[in-house]
Structure 1
């Protein structure tokens, strides 16, 4: 709920399993009393060995009274961590090794974050999820495919206790092409300082995606379209970007930002001049930019392949013809004919009132580019966290105001 912040990230009720420990203890005792569970004090290594071989230990045939006595000792501090655990009595020859008398409760001496040292015996995952899903009315439980061998155990627990059964559905893992998703790969990058944190926009964690400008709605829509499948899937970021683009394009306002700028002097322009630029292609609204000088910033890359005599249009301002191009400055002249069709339109920023800004461009978990430049004066009015479109660059999200830094989401 905290990460998504919208439906279906909302749920009917929030349940903390540790508040149900007493009920789980009662169910465990019920299993013991019916001869379906027993306390085992074999070392963990011995248990693993016997389960692999399909050989039971002597504790399996203990009387129910003895198991109840040992269970009370577990609850009352009679065993240290690792010295005893409650095992479900199933079939030690079962073809699914996970089903061979699995452990369902064990002693944990660490302090609980909510209950402190009130409890010292805790259920394993298979017991807690199977019981809680049944008791709380879950009809369809979705779990990743690596838990598929545990379905037999969970169903056995539900049936042994006579609880309501429900659907258990497994789904495959999603990986992003060329980007690690596993915590064991990301954590070292965070701890070494290569990544800023778990919200670094270069990685596809939820926080990283949101910081990059991928909307929660796009992520929900992406997984809805992907659908549940047991087949592992590898996707690329463009698949998510495509959906995000459809969501943002009708609503994101357009702004001009000039990366790697160079000055362009305009002969024949008589300031002050008021330029009118579109706020959005589907809107009739215009945003005015006052130009008090006859020079502007343009992107140096926009001059690649151009030569004197070629024509450009400065968006919302005027058509210009290139007079000369020098390493640090270009000379332009207002064109005699002011046409729009057939002319390359480029963004620009005023020299005096232009707003300095940076654009963070994610490339991989290990690299990024930081583009410096100037934007139109209206950049100062963008709210932190707002997503807009930089004309001819892409959708960006304002990450911080000091210095003014945007993150490129995608084109």
Structure 2
């Protein structure tokens, strides 16, 4: 074996025995006349492959049994002759336990005691490419990634469940892969349910031939009513030959085929309605599949494809939200009936937030009807939406992992979500200033300490973090301040002009609105003694930068939208506001996605940088902090 082949082996020793057996066979041949894999001393490749085997419970059990004599000899020799390698194993195991304990201390228990984990753990994330990932998907992805890669040193598979061409797009597929990478979720393999269409077709044929599935042309409403009342379909006792003929008609997309679906013959009146003859194949000759084109006119449903492909791909533990709990016996029925390898299930509670819905169908409707700007709209609960609103990936990961894999269903306020983000951004967000264009007051600066001409000074961009650097702050005799501040002043009151010093408010003209005033500097004054600290901008000595300050509200007015609710009746009529403002000159250097704090206003994400596009202005989106306004 060449060096690059050995490297490939070191990265492939994961999953179940079936997937790693070829690599052990190659190692067995390679070690026939060798003490070490490469050279005459312990090499980096020896260490990598030894650790890969020792961290895979399946592989190490076969090696120690002596199934591969040369590999066993090499493995035992390295173990005995190089005790330093044991330190690496212990360190990795300690790190894994520390992560689990840290998660438990944060309020989430990760001690699931997964069944037969000693034989290896392979988890999967199974999104349908019918929309962009939302925060509910993020929990499923991050938990599966955690158990696969951190808790058990196993594998994570990403499988795009592309079985419904009428809803799915390549755009969604690509966005899902991109968003997972953004969240730091790195699957070991990426596959598609459509990769298995041939196998699933044969599986359905087998179910029909064994009498475990039948063709049904009952209309949707009648079928729903019969399943609800536990009444057998009039088509349930069709002959195998008749069912096969109809399935063939479905495959051809004929008029007769289009009327039918294929249902698994499980039960008519099981108390668990998920067991009442679920649909496992549908006919769809009209919509081309984004990967397979027009090759197929029939498509398997999730209920059939999920257990079959999970078992085929070597998934050992499938984590999914509690909304699928009723389907677990159905999942097991397919495994048992088809005599497939066991896959264990674990249900966790999905994340629910007040005044938010996570139905992709409803979210798509908002996009399609123009109620939002797109799937990445900052009002949307998608990964891209909350990121555009200003949620950082480290805070998102930390927040979700702290929820843990509990089955307890709760509806959360957004407060803790955004409060977690504030902890992440506050220590590093540069400070800048914005003054409203509509509601500002021009102020004259007087006193012995007033500047005779405009000047600038370097000031910290963050008062507590020198590493963030400095910015230029302009000082002059003419300032602008916010109308709300000016209206709060009493004549002669001492206030603090932030980053400058104290001053007395004098010659206040007008009230609501104030039309002008004077600030007489008193730089020897104690800034700790004043009640009011105001932000300001000099109109001289710098270019004031045009800015749009956007803020957003919930999309719906009801705390919890029920499935039967008419979404349109609960849509919030006003969900965004925009204020035109001037910012200090330092914002011209900001890039898209930078996060700053506008002093006394809040945190903002740069949605459009000043130099992006022909129109010279910066667009800033307000980031919630978890506090009520």
Does TM-score exceed 0.5, indicating one fold?
Answer: yes
Deviations 1:328-358 (A, max 9, x none): 2221111162443323433221213222222
Match of 1:106, SS?
strand
Q: Please tell me whether residue 84 in structure 1 is matched to residue 260 in structure 2.
A: yes
Shift of 1:64: 4.3
Shift of 1:96: 1.9
What does residue 372 of structure 1 align with?
580
What does residue 392 of structure 2 align with?
215
- With 45-54 and 106-115 compared, the bigger mean Cα shift is at 45-54
> Is the 2:278–2:303 contact (alpha carbons within 8 Å) kept by the matching residues of 1?
no
What does residue 288 of structure 1 align with?
472
Deviations 1:209-240 (A, max 9, x none): 11111112222222211223444322222211
Change (3 A) 1:99 1:328: same
What does residue 34 of structure 1 align with?
210
Deviations 1:139-192 (A, max 9, x none): 332333333322222211111111122232334443332345445655565555
Match of 1:39, SS?
strand
- With 51-60 and 276-285 compared, the bigger mean Cα shift is at 51-60
> Is the 2:250–2:257 contact (alpha carbons within 8 Å) kept by the matching residues of 1?
no
- With 155-164 and 307-316 compared, the bigger mean Cα shift is at 307-316
Q: Please tell me whether residue 395 in structure 1 is matched to residue 574 in structure 2.
A: no
Whole-angstrom CA distance in 2 between matches of 1:47 and 1:410: 46
> Is the 1:37–1:88 contact (alpha carbons within 8 Å) kept by the matching residues of 2?
yes
| TM-score, L = length of structure 1 | 0.89
- With 363-372 and 401-410 compared, the bigger mean Cα shift is at 363-372
Whole-angstrom CA distance in 1 between matches of 2:365 and 2:293: 30
What does residue 274 of structure 1 align with?
456
Shift of 1:77: 4.5
1:7-406 to 2 correspondences below 5 Å: 7-44=183-220, 47-56=223-232, 60-62=236-238, 64=240, 67-77=243-253, 80-110=256-286, 111-183=288-360, 186=363, 190=367, 193-259=370-436, 260-268=439-447, 269-270=450-451, 271-284=453-466, 285-291=469-475, 293-326=476-509, 327-335=514-522, 337-343=524-530, 344-352=532-540, 353=542, 354-365=544-555, 366-400=574-608, 401=610, 402=615, 403-406=617-620
Change (3 A) 1:324 1:180: farther
Deviations 1:103-148 (A, max 9, x none): 2122221232222221112111100111122222223323333333
Whole-angstrom CA distance in 2 between matches of 1:219 and 1:281: 26
Shift of 1:15: 1.4
Match of 2:427, SS?
coil
Shift of 1:35: 3.3
Whole-angstrom CA distance in 1 between matches of 2:206 and 2:227: 24
Shift of 1:243: 0.6
- With 198-207 and 110-119 compared, the bigger mean Cα shift is at 198-207
Deviations 1:386-410 (A, max 9, x none): 1111122211011123432211102
Shift of 1:378: 0.3
> Is the 1:80–1:109 contact (alpha carbons within 8 Å) kept by the matching residues of 2?
no
Unaligned residue ranges in structure 2 (runs of 5+): 1-176, 556-573
Change (3 A) 1:60 1:238: closer
Shift of 1:76: 4.0
| TM-score, L = length of structure 2 | 0.60
Whole-angstrom CA distance in 2 between matches of 1:51 and 1:202: 38
Change (3 A) 1:331 1:229: same
Q: Greater helix percent: which structure? A: 2
Deviations 1:52-103 (A, max 9, x none): 4544456544554554454444434456444333322223232223212222
Count of residues paired in the alignment: 410
Whole-angstrom CA distance in 1 between matches of 2:222 and 2:470: 76
Whole-angstrom CA distance in 1 between matches of 2:545 and 2:218: 71
Change (3 A) 1:369 1:81: same
> Is the 2:261–2:279 contact (alpha carbons within 8 Å) kept by the matching residues of 1?
yes
Whole-angstrom CA distance in 1 between matches of 2:516 and 2:339: 82
Q: CA RMSD in A?
A: 2.7
Whole-angstrom CA distance in 1 between matches of 2:428 and 2:368: 38
Q: Please tell me whether residue 410 in structure 1 is matched to residue 592 in structure 2.
A: no
What does residue 135 of structure 2 align with?
none
Q: Greater strand percent: which structure? A: 1
Whole-angstrom CA distance in 2 between matches of 1:108 and 1:190: 25
Shift of 1:22: 0.5
Change (3 A) 1:80 1:14: farther
